[in-house]
Amino acid sequence: MAESAIGVNWGTISSHRLKPSTVVNLLRDNKISKVKLFEAEHDVLKALMGSGIQVMVGIPNEMLSLLGSSSVAADFWVRQNVSAYMIKGGADIRYVAVGNEPFLSSYNGQFLNLVIPAITNIQQSLVKANLAGYVKIVVPCNADAYESSGGLPSQGVFRSELTQIMTQLVQFLNSNGSPFVVNIYPFLSLYDNGDFPGDYAFFQGTTHAVTDGSNVYTNAFDGNYDTLVSALGKLGYGQMPIVIGEIGWPSDGAVGANITAARVFNQGLVYHIASNKGTPLRPNVPPIDVYLFGLLDEGAKSTLPGNFERHWGIFSFDGQAKYSLNLGLGNKELKNARNVEYLPSRWCVANPLRDLTNVVNHMKIACSVADCTTLNYGGSCNEIGEKGNISYAFNSYYQLRMQDSQSCEFDGLGMVTFLDPSVGDCHFLVGVVDKGLNSSASQTIYQWWVL
């Protein structure tokens, strides 16, 4: 059996976008050979052409209804977003992810009946394009699609309202030689549940092992994975190959989300997968691929789940490694992005000579547009004091506006400085020269995602 491969999720909901060619070079320098995209973005797919990197390209949930109800729309989507890039020396598209966690319980079933029609139509379109033997359809599911009584992996079942649809889905995946893709987040178990044992989220062993018959679980990942294995088994597909579509640990924006925890979790995960020891229900059979979430921080993501949403990257927004990590792909450490073009080294801070009593509205406006999530409780800039908070908010806005001099006005409360105001672990960023997308396009994507 082929060894598991470590890939990454490349999300692009960012206010400061690196050029896609810079990101592709970053992937290649780090010997990352598999990438998962949430949308078919032309500039991203174009940059991946000829790179040798295997691609999973995504279809957003909002498109499922159209693609499921119109074979013409499905044909058009495949032609535009798959066939067009799979010419000789083109992009190596291996998977189309139809929807993203469409069965999430918080969606209250709104996408439930759209998935099977959409995968059916996209499959037929791939057949027409002579690509069905090479490009496989998957549906990334959140781990909330299954549950178990008493928290025992052997008791894993799909949620009752999903039984029928999951039976159809796994039959479809099985007949087309596709794996089951699941997103597993031990961090969220810890974040959402005050009683969750912290050490069980990691891979260093635990004082809270879960005993399930003769099997003992020492980490949340194995327990969660085997719950899925049991759920698949109850549908008669206990041997179905599994891909981890997303897994990771954020480095900022919440208690427990920090550089140390992110490094320990991701390194533990990589070593655990590389050991090939598998899990109690699948000994010596690790998942076929594991896509870390994520490659880069995404400063324009919705913070509804929590402020940590903008800090999942193993690299910061500008492609600089946040911590040392051996991905087991040949490099002992992460290599930083090369030739990143930054804006000049200047920052916008609170003017020390002005009375700042009326600053609250200015801060609110700045933070409603720019990313201020590190200022919140548990964030890396949480303890820099009131003046520091104001400066951080002002600067985030100023960099987002590409250092436009008017954007540091704030009715005379802001001023530009050439001295880096960063304090300890709290970094005041300098923006990058945005060549990836013009700002109006990135605004549109941002608007579209926060709807």
Residues in the chain: 451
CA–CA distance, 140 with 304 (Å, rounded to integer):
21
CA–CA distance, 47 with 368 (Å, rounded to integer):
32
Structure tokens at 268: 């533990």
Q: Of 41, 101, 298, 309, which one is the catalytic site residue?
A: 101
Q: Look at the block and give the residue holding tokens 């999951």.
A: 166
Say which amino acid occupies 87: I
Structure tokens at 310: 């903008």
3-state secondary structure 95-154: EEEECCCCCCHHHCCCCHHHHHHHHHHHHHHHHHCCCCCCCEEECCEEHHHEEEHHHCHH
Structure tokens at 137: 């359809």
101 is catalytic: yes
Structure tokens at 446: 């941002």
* Edge-to-edge strands, sheet with 54-59: 136-138, 92-98, 54-59, 34-37, 5-10, 289-292, 242-247, 180-183, 141-142
Q: How does 378-417 read in b/e, with b if 16+ C-beta sit within 10 Å?
A: bbbbbebeeebbbbbbbbbbbbbbebeeebbebeebbbbb
CA–CA distance, 82 with 242 (Å, rounded to integer):
23
3 is catalytic: no
Cβ-in-10-Å burial (0-12, 13-18, 19+) of 28 comes to: middle
Q: Of 246, 383, 386, 409, which one is the catalytic site residue?
A: 246
- The residues that bridge with 210 in the sheet, in sequence order, are 217
CA distances from 338 to 27, 29, 80, 88 (A): 11, 9, 31, 28
> How far is the first Cα of the chain from the last one, in angstroms, to the nearest whole number?
43
CA–CA distance, 80 with 1 (Å, rounded to integer):
34
Q: Which residues are catalytic?
A: 101, 246
